[in-house]
């Protein structure tokens, strides 16, 4: 399946990735190749088969409603690119 | 302002999406505390923060709460539940996706019956109720270059209750929200506080000409923090959209935000203009299968619902619809009243006590019925005291009731005796009082006899005063009439 350049740009935007012209074209080629390869799966007859949603056959893996241990505040903030003593800081979202 | 004539041509169409924060101790997919009001970023874990290699695990109670709401709304409960990822980037969503339900929500269909201000009834159909997780909280402070993010709320369990576009007026929207709040509070699954954000509402609003086969383009309005504001936003959108249609301007499907100070809505400028959530099944969570047994155990633990109690109060207790409505407003009042009615058979008196002296005491001190000092048993014996003719209502409510509030351990009879309030219904002891009142007021007696029958009230007042409120009014009236008419 041929992926067009607009699709690449849309997906890049959704994934917050930026490509220059050459990069976008390379990405377009790669994505087309990947999809072409995956199209082999169309040869399998999947009529009447429920989609696979999980790799495990387990069901009802549930937790009781109990409070457990928290990540210490400073550890939680440790890897944040920007932070203060209380908050994660991100570039302003609303004007 | 649009003329009523123009407005009348159009029909308002509204569907509501209500998010209810569930009253669990821990989060939807992790064991972090859901407690509100703690220091920022202290109720967090690697799962909440979306660190790689972590595995979420579903909170059983949250599933049961969602099922409860579905049972209360007559929804069909989905047996095979699969979670889904809703993908989008926003700083309050650390994983880059929200774990929610997409194709098979836990509750499908159902309805919420509402009573409108004019007393008419309507049923608002539900599309679905699904389980999901809350996002963190972003703060955009004035003068601050950054947005500050607190993840304590991220992952708190929510149910989203989605109605069909069945709502036709702002009053209906208001009544629907009142009903939803009542339901979640009766079920004890959400505290229903819209101002604090534990209940949140988005409205999908459109207009069309009456009789038009298709719905108009819908606009989604957010950021309404009270039932009243939801109604205001709907009113505003109704007018705004009609004005556009009348001018031949196309309505754009967009998200608008409500401003409570102006009562108007405005388009939201977000950096994300492309809404493509790319839902897919959540591979980290195994399916949740609701067995017949599990469903039955949740059903068995269901409390009485407001409409069930309302029905009981009207049909078993013979109360007016109005009383039943007031008494079922809050679960705790309804349950207190139900207990009270197990202890007295004078249901109307019980209702009058609840709606009168009890409610005014609670309102005055802004107390909750759980703080009400008088037990249902004691209140029932006070009602019995009146029914037995030992005291009248005004003595009971003005003299005994206040003492009971201060001394919840004393029985009403004991208080009545101590204060010497037991009503005198013996003619022999009331007669001298009546005679002396008449003897003291010869002029008034003459006036009465010449036709001024309205003086009876004055005589009664005098007799009651002389008896210190203890004379049985029925006996006193009878004696007064006998003596005056002779």
Query: Is A84 in Cβ contact with B57 (below 8 Å)?
Result: no
For residue B426, pLDDT over 80 is answered with no
For residue B419, pLDDT over 60 is answered with yes
State how far residue B194 is from chain A, nearest Cα, in angstroms: 23
Q: Which two tokens stand for residue B101?
A: 């339900």
From chain A residues 55-94, the ones with a CB under 8 A of any chain B CB are: 55-56, 58-71, 73, 76-77, 82, 84, 86-94
**Residue B263 contacts by C-beta under 8 Å, 6 or more apart in sequence?**
B232, B233, B236
Q: Which of B260, B293, B326 is the last residue of a domain?
A: B293
On whether residue B381 sits in a domain, the answer given is no
pLDDT for the residue numbered B59: 98
State how far residue A57 is from chain B, nearest Cα, in angstroms: 8
> Which residues does chain A have within 8 Å of residue B31's beta carbon, measured at their own beta carbons?
63, 66-69
On whether residue B226 sits in a domain, the answer given is yes
**Residue B199 contacts by C-beta under 8 Å, 6 or more apart in sequence?**
B18, B19, B20, B21, B177, B180, B181, B184, B190, B192, B193
Length of chain A: 95
Q: Does B146 touch chain A (CB under 8 A)?
A: yes
The shortest CB-CB distance from A61 to any of B61, B139, B286 is to B286
Q: What is the CATH number of the domain that holds B476?
A: 1.10.10.410
Residue B441: domain span? 427-485
Residue B390's pLDDT band, with cuts at 50, 70 and 90, is: confident
Residue B274's pLDDT band, with cuts at 50, 70 and 90, is: low
On whether residue B301 sits in a domain, the answer given is no
Residue of chain B nearest A71, judged by CA positions: B45
Read off the pLDDT of residues A27-86 as tens digits, 9 standing for 90 and up: 999 999 999 999 999 999 999 998 888 888 899 999 999 999 999 999 999 999 999 999
Same domain, B289 and B433: no
Percent of chain A with pLDDT over 70: 98
Within B188-259, residue ranges assigned H as helices are 227-246
Q: Residue B219 phi/psi, 5° resolution?
A: -115, 135
Query: Is B147 in Cβ contact with A93 (below 8 Å)?
Result: yes
Task: Give dist(CA B201, CA B278) in Å, integer.
Answer: 24
Residue B215's pLDDT band, with cuts at 50, 70 and 90, is: very high
> Which residues does chain B have within 8 Å of residue A56's beta carbon, measured at their own beta carbons?
286
On whether residue B33 sits in a domain, the answer given is yes
Query: Is A89 in Cβ contact with B146 (below 8 Å)?
Result: yes
The shortest CB-CB distance from A91 to any of B26, B146, B282 is to B146
| B225 closest CA partner among B267, B258, B180, B179 | B258
| B430 closest CA partner among B471, B468, B458, B395 | B471
On whether residue B417 sits in a domain, the answer given is no
State how far residue A17 is from chain B, nearest Cα, in angstroms: 12
Pairing state of beta strands B146-150 and B76-77?
Answer: unpaired
Judged by DSSP in three states, B11 sits in: strand
* HSE-up of residue B230 (Cα within 13 Å, Cβ side): 27
Angle at alpha carbon of residue A46, lines to A43 and A52, rounded to 5°: 115
Residue of chain A nearest B271, judged by CA positions: A93
Query: Is B150 in Cβ contact with A87 (below 8 Å)?
Result: yes
Average pLDDT over residues B422-431: 80
Task: Give dist(CA B63, CA B381) in Å, integer.
Answer: 44
pLDDT for the residue numbered B269: 61
- The number of folded domains in chain B is 2
* HSE-up of residue B206 (Cα within 13 Å, Cβ side): 18
How many contacts does A have with B, using Cβ atoms within 8 A? 135
On whether residue B199 sits in a domain, the answer given is yes
CB B43 within 8 A of CB B35: yes
Mean pLDDT estimate for chain B: 93
Task: Give dist(CA B289, CA B441) in Å, integer.
Answer: 85
Q: Which two tokens stand for residue B252?
A: 């754009």
- Concatenate the DSSP letters of all residues of B377-422 into one string: HHHHHHHHHHHTTSS-HHHIIIIIHHHHHH-TTS-HHHHHHHTT--
Alpha-carbon dihedral sign for residues B332, B335, B336, B337: positive
Query: Is B283 in Cβ contact with A94 (below 8 Å)?
Result: no
Which of B25-34, B325-334, B391-400 is predicted most confidently? B25-34
Angle at alpha carbon of residue B35, lines to B31 and B37, rounded to 5°: 140
Domains (range + CATH), chain A: 5-41 (1.10.20)
Average pLDDT over residues B394-412: 92
Residue B41's pLDDT band, with cuts at 50, 70 and 90, is: very high
On whether residue B102 sits in a domain, the answer given is yes
Alpha-carbon distances, residue B376 vs A31, B52, B286, B373, B380 (angstroms): 73, 56, 48, 10, 6
Q: Which residue has the higher pLDDT, B299 or B417?
A: B299
pLDDT for the residue numbered B271: 44
Task: Give dist(CA A85, CA B1) in Å, integer.
Answer: 51
Read off the pLDDT of residues B99-143 as tens digits, 9 standing for 90 and up: 999 999 999 999 999 999 998 999 999 999 999 999 999 998 888
Task: Give dist(CA B187, CA B68) in Å, integer.
Answer: 7
The shortest CB-CB distance from B25 to any of A59, A67, A88 is to A67
State how far residue A56 is from chain B, nearest Cα, in angstroms: 7
Percent of chain B with pLDDT over 70: 98
CB B265 within 8 A of CB B237: yes
Q: Residue B206 phi/psi, 5° resolution?
A: -145, 165
Task: Give dist(CA B253, CA B264) in Å, integer.
Answer: 17
On whether residue B59 sits in a domain, the answer given is yes
Read off the pLDDT of residues B152-165 as tens digits, 9 standing for 90 and up: 999 999 999 999 99
């Amino acid at each position: 399946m041929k992926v067009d350049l607009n699709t690449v740009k849309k997906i890049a935007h959704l994934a917050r990735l930026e490509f220059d012209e050459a990069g976008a074209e390379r990405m377009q080629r790669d994505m087309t190749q990947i999809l072409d390869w995956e199209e082999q799966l169309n040869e399998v007859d999947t009529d009447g088969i429920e989609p696979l949603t999980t790799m495990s056959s387990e069901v009802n893996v549930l937790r009781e409603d109990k409070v457990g241990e928290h990540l210490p505040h400073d550890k939680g903030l440790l890897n944040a690119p920007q932070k203060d003593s209380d908050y994660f800081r991100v570039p302003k979202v609303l004007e | 302002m649009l003329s009523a004539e123009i407005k009348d041509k159009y029909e308002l169409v509204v569907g509501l999406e209500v998010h209810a924060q569930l009253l669990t101790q821990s989060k939807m997919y992790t064991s972090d505390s859901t407690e509100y009001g703690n220091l920022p970023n202290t109720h967090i874990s690697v799962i909440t923060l979306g660190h790689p290699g972590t595995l979420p695990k579903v909170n059983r109670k949250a599933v049961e709460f969602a099922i409860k709401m579905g049972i209360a709304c007559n929804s069909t409960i989905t047996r095979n539940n699969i979670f889904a990822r809703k993908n989008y980037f926003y700083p309050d969503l650390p994983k880059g996706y929200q774990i929610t339900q997409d194709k098979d929500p836990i509750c499908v269909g159902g309805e919420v019956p509402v009573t409108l201000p004019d007393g008419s009834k309507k049923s608002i159909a539900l599309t679905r109720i699904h389980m999901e997780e809350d996002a963190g909280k972003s703060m955009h402070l004035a003068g601050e270059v950054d947005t500050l993010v607190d993840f304590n709320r991220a992952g708190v369990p929510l149910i989203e209750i989605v109605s069909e576009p069945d709502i036709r007026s702002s009053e209906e929207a208001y009544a629907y929200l009142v009903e939803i709040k009542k339901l979640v509070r009766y079920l004890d699954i959400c505290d229903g506080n819209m101002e604090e954000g534990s209940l949140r509402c988005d409205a999908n609003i459109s207009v069309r000409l009456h009789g038009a086969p298709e719905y108009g383009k819908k606009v989604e309005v957010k950021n309404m923090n009270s039932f009243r504001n939801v109604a205001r936003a709907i009113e505003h959108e109704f007018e705004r959209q009609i004005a556009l249609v009348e001018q031949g301007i196309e309505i754009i499907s967009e998200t608008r935000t409500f401003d409570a100070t102006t009562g108007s809505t405005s388009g939201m400028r977000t950096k994300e203009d492309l809404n493509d959530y790319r839902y897919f099944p959540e591979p980290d969570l195994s399916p949740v299968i609701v067995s017949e047994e599990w469903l039955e155990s949740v059903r068995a633990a269901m409390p009485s619902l407001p409409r069930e109690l309302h029905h009981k109060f009207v049909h078993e207790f013979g109360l007016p619809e109005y009383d039943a409505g007031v008494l079922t407003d809050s679960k705790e009042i309804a349950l207190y009243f139900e207990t009270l009615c197990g202890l007295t058979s004078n249901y109307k008196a019980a209702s009058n006590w609840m709606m009168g002296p009890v409610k005014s005491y609670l309102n005055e001190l802004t107390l909750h019925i759980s703080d009400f000092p008088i037990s249902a048993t004691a209140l029932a014996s006070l009602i019995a005291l009146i029914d037995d003719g030992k005291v009248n209502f005004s003595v009971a409510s003005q003299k005994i009731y206040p003492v009971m509030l201060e001394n919840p351990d004393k029985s009403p009879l004991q208080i009545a005796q101590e204060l010497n309030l037991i009503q005198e219904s013996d003619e022999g002891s009331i007669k001298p009082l009546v005679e002396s009142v008449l003897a003291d007021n010869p002029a008034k007696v003459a006036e009465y006899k010449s036709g001024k029958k309205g003086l009876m009230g004055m005589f009664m007042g005098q007799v009651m005063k002389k008896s210190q409120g203890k004379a049985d009014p029925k006996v006193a009236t009878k004696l007064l009439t006998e003596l005056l008419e002779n």
